[in-house]
Amino acid sequence: MQYRTHTCNELRLSDAGKKVRLSGWMENVREVGGNLAFVVLRDFYGTTQLVVEDPGILQTVTELNKESVISVTGLVRERASKNPRMATGDIEVVPDAVEILGKCRYNALPFQINRSGEADESLRLKYRYLDLRNPEVKKQIILRSQVVAALRSAMIDEGFLEITTPILTASSPEGARDYLVPARKHPGKFYALPQAPQQFKQLLMASGFDRYFQIAPCFRDEDARGDRSPGEFYQLDMEMAFASQEDVFAVLEKVLPPVFAKFGTWHRASSAPFRRIPYLEAMETYGSDKPDLRIDLTARDVTALMEGCGFGPFEGQRVKAVAVSDFQGTRKQIDKLCADVEVISGNRVYWFKVDEKGEISGGIAKFLQDRKERILSELGLAPNTLVGLTAGKNLAAQKTAGVLIKQLGAICENHMDREQYAFCWIVDFPMYEIGEESGELEFCHNPFSMPNGGLEILRKARSGETDPLSITAFQYDLVCNGVELSSGAVRNHDPEIMVEAFSLVRLGEEDVKAKFPAMYNAFCYGAPPHAGIAPGVDRMVMLLAGVDSIREVIAFPMNKNAQDMMMDAPGTVEQKQLDELHIALVNPEE
């Protein structure tokens, strides 16, 4: 190559005596005595030390700001004081020529490159191109590339065909807000960026394709979280014709464990078959539909056991208990635990302990003395056991218990096997739920799912014979270490069942035809049974890298407010552009 004969991570002691050319960024310059300088040169691959002895070259490099890009030609020699922490630590290069390729024109950097992870996140995102020069940051993006390549290869080996689907499409009710794109040639009309390739991949099945996949971009106008990036994300999207729920499970149980075992921070991953947990059981036992199976704690219903104990918050409420054996924490730690759970869940946690003598003490123990033996027996409590209790309506008590389990797992090393990837399937999700905002019946997960019981159960629900909230669907989530990796379903491929399903959420046949014209019509021409799923690539890489924020595994992420600090997006546009799109802006304050 014109600019280098070797990379900055390539030279070894066996190369001593060779004339080489290296190119990269000046990471550090240390001048010694006015006639010598040590320069650390960094490129994508690693670092090499240069020892500048020539007076002219010395003047050139010492006048440059750090992070300037240079190319040097010089001789490789053995280092007198070797650095075992560097791959190239046995050698150094003595330059006899230097060429400035890209001068850094700023004396001060916004942060130290090798310590950019300690900088304020907004600063890191604004100068992301500098942040990515940090090898520790860069390695997450390299990992992502390797994981995507491995997933792509595995899916092709399983007989899946990679097909790209449109980015500009129609708006549809899929659970989140659409990003809308005004259509210049069609005034007053809008495209939408796809929340997922859901309809297109089902249409591919109706088109006669058998196994489809893509690393698909998805766009949702929703708030950020630690495991969710606002704006856009990527998923391993797949669909299979003539397939059941178990067929989908078999593919992912074959594809994912080797990827997690090879690239993960931990090198143990669940083997097939993954554990199947019905949704209602997951909520009752783990207090979550995203259980972290690395934690061996579960919740027990103790409503009957606590009835009439005289403790006000329990009266008329569902009560759940989480027992932690061999608990070594202090009272201060217990108080902090309860406070943390309350902050996260919005509900209080109560507690008592079984001491070394088998007596109940602490917390709400005074309300339980009359039923001590029954509590010890029914819950199987041994000495040195902490019992956390949650109370409220059923779902509130369950979810608070779930938060409690997660917090306990974080502080009790003897109850959490961290160094593994524990997978499970959550199955039998409710088909419908009552919307938090609307207060009306809505689809719980995916409106295109096949209900358990098919057309008959839907008709019974519409006639009032069956509670629609009791209907489950062939919907499933893949969960790993308490993180939802993906949702999937056996699809509703029958137009008659589809119309019946939508009628329960106040949408008639004409609404279905209007909102999903292509899919409805395609299914009327005969569609095969089909099923699919879409594990999130960003979340997958986040788990593999062992980082807490999804932004660490995305090359150019937005901040929590869906802003691109580096490109200053979203931004204003010229009036001419608005006029072309027939858009008039309204001041929100007016």
Instruction: Give residue 590's pLDDT.
Output: 53
Domain residue spans of the chain: 13-102, 295-415
Q: Are strands 423-427 and 475-480 parallel, antiparallel or unpaired?
A: antiparallel
CA 45 from chain center: how many Å? 27
Rounded Cα distance between 202 and 19, Å, is: 60
Q: Is the pLDDT reported for residue 178 higher than 80?
A: yes
Q: Is the pLDDT reported for residue 550 higher than 60?
A: yes
Structure token pair of residue 581? 């799109």
If you search the block for the tokens 């000495």, which residue do you land on? 383
> What's the length of the chain?
590
Write the pLDDT tens digit of every residue in 339-394: 999 999 999 999 999 999 899 999 999 999 999 999 999 999 999 999 999 999 99
Rounded Cα distance between 169 and 191, Å, is: 5
Radius of gyration of the chain, Cα coordinates, nearest whole angstrom:
30
Instruction: Give residue 222's pLDDT.
Output: 83
Instruction: Give residue 586's pLDDT.
Output: 85
Residue 317 DSSP class: S
Quick one: average pLDDT of 566-588?
90
Q: Is the pLDDT reported for residue 67 higher than 70?
A: yes
CB 21 within 8 A of CB 5: yes
Top-confidence residue, 224 or 86: 86
Per-residue pLDDT band at 173 (split at 50, 70, 90): low
**Greatest distance between any 2 Cα atoms in the chain:** 93
Range in 145-149, 220-224, 466-470, 536-540 the model is least confident about: 220-224
Q: CA triplet 69, 75, 78: central angle to 5 degrees?
A: 110
With residue 193 as reference, give the H or E element that holds it: strand 190-193
Q: Are strands 179-182 and 161-162 parallel, antiparallel or unpaired?
A: unpaired
Instruction: Give residue 126's pLDDT.
Output: 96
Q: How many CA atoms lie within 13 A of 532 on its CB side?
A: 31
Closest CA to 399 of 460, 435, 347, 337: 347
Closest CA to 484 of 534, 444, 411, 418: 534
Per-residue pLDDT band at 470 (split at 50, 70, 90): very high
Range in 169-178, 402-411, 459-468 the model is least confident about: 169-178
Q: Is the pLDDT reported for residue 89 higher than 90?
A: yes
DSSP for 28-91, written as a single string: EEEEETTTEEEEEEE-SS-EEEEEE-SHHHHHHHHHSPTT-EEEEEEEEEE-SS--TTSTTTTE
3-state secondary structure of 399: helix
Instruction: Give residue 174's pLDDT.
Output: 60
Q: What is the pTM of this model?
A: 0.90
Instruction: Give residue 446's pLDDT.
Output: 78
Instruction: Give residue 406's pLDDT.
Output: 96
Q: CA triplet 61, 62, 68: central angle to 5 degrees?
A: 55
Rounded Cα distance between 186 and 167, Å, is: 18
3-state secondary structure of 295: strand
Quick one: average pLDDT of 504-518?
89
Write the pLDDT tens digit of every residue in 431-450: 999 887 888 999 887 788 99
Rounded Cα distance between 244 and 305, Å, is: 42
Strand order in the sheet with 161-162: 161-162, 211-220, 231-241, 530-533, 483-490, 475-480, 423-427, 275-278
185 contacts: CB under 8 Å, gap ≥ 6: none
Backbone angles phi, psi at 329, to 5 degrees: -70, 160
In one-letter notation, the amino acid at residue 328 is Q
Give, in words, the CATH class of 13-102: mainly beta
Q: Is the pLDDT reported for residue 588 higher than 70?
A: no
Quick one: average pLDDT of 211-233?
87
Helix, strand, coil percentages in the chain from 3-state DSSP, rounded to 5: 35, 25, 40
Q: Are strands 350-354 and 360-361 parallel, antiparallel or unpaired?
A: antiparallel
Instruction: Give residue 177's pLDDT.
Output: 87
Rounded Cα distance between 449 and 466, Å, is: 19
If you search the block for the tokens 């917390």, which residue do you land on? 363
Q: Are strands 211-220 and 475-480 parallel, antiparallel or unpaired?
A: unpaired
The CATH homologous superfamily to which domain 295-415 belongs is GAD-like domain (3.30.1360.30)
Q: CA triplet 18, 19, 23: central angle to 5 degrees?
A: 120
Per-residue pLDDT band at 328 (split at 50, 70, 90): confident
Rounded Cα distance between 38 and 95, Å, is: 11
